[in-house]
Amino acid sequence: MKAVSAVLLCALCLTGLQAQCPDPATLKDSSGAKLCARMFEDSNYYYDQSCGGSYLDIYPGDDFPLIPPAWNNRASSLVVSKFCSLTVWSRGKKQGKKRKFSSGTYYQLKEVGQGLFGNWNNDISGYYCVC
Ligand SMILES: [Ca+2]
């Protein structure tokens, strides 16, 4: 019985770890190449459960005036590598609102204001990343 609960606890623990945002200082893709930034589909009120769902890897120098269609207006959290910056636009072709994210972890794009009343949650349609 004890072993069963230990396994259950560990499963929960692993789920929690997987959802944790990666460290901006060591952000790499699955093959170990340095990333400029990574966007995530989901965010969470609890920061340690943010950076969930599928993710989009962004490399140094990536310039996408049109974000890949599956990612249009979808990112809800993001991490920008150390010494890098990610500029995003709310509309394709570098139109609409613009914001520059410096290195760091942005757990909830909902909390990042856009204009007077808006926010950046599910509203990124283009990006440029540089290190
Ligand atoms: Ca989303």
The two structure tokens encoding residue 36 = 């400029």
pLDDT per residue as tens digits for the range 43-62:
999 999 999 999 999 999 99
SS3 for 17?
helix
Other Cβ atoms less than 10 A from the Cβ of 109: the count is: 24
The pLDDT of residue 16: 46
How close is the Cα of 41 to the center of ligand 1, in Å?
4
Look-up of token digits 């991490």: 79
pLDDT per residue as tens digits for the range 91-107:
999 999 999 999 999 99
Rounded to the nearest integer, the mean pLDDT of the chain is 90
How close is the Cα of 121 to the center of ligand 1, in Å?
7
How close is the Cα of 79 to the center of ligand 1, in Å?
14
How close is the Cα of 12 to the center of ligand 1, in Å?
23
Burial of 13 (0-12, 13-18, 19+ CB in 10 A): exposed
Instruction: Give kind and range of the element (H or E) at residue 96.
Output: strand 95-106
How close is the Cα of 90 to the center of ligand 1, in Å?
14
Tell which wins on pLDDT, 16 or 49: 49
| End-to-end Cα spacing for the chain | 51
Other Cβ atoms less than 10 A from the Cβ of 128: the count is: 19
C-alpha to C-alpha distance for 64 and 62, rounded to whole angstroms = 6
How close is the Cα of 70 to the center of ligand 1, in Å?
11
How close is the Cα of 67 to the center of ligand 1, in Å?
14
How close is the Cα of 108 to the center of ligand 1, in Å?
10
The two structure tokens encoding residue 110 = 């909902």
Query: What is the average pLDDT across 19-39?
Result: 95
CATH architecture label of 37-130 = Sandwich (2.60)
Using DSSP bridges, classify how beta strands 118-119 and 113-114 pair: parallel, antiparallel or unpaired.
antiparallel
How close is the Cα of 123 to the center of ligand 1, in Å?
9
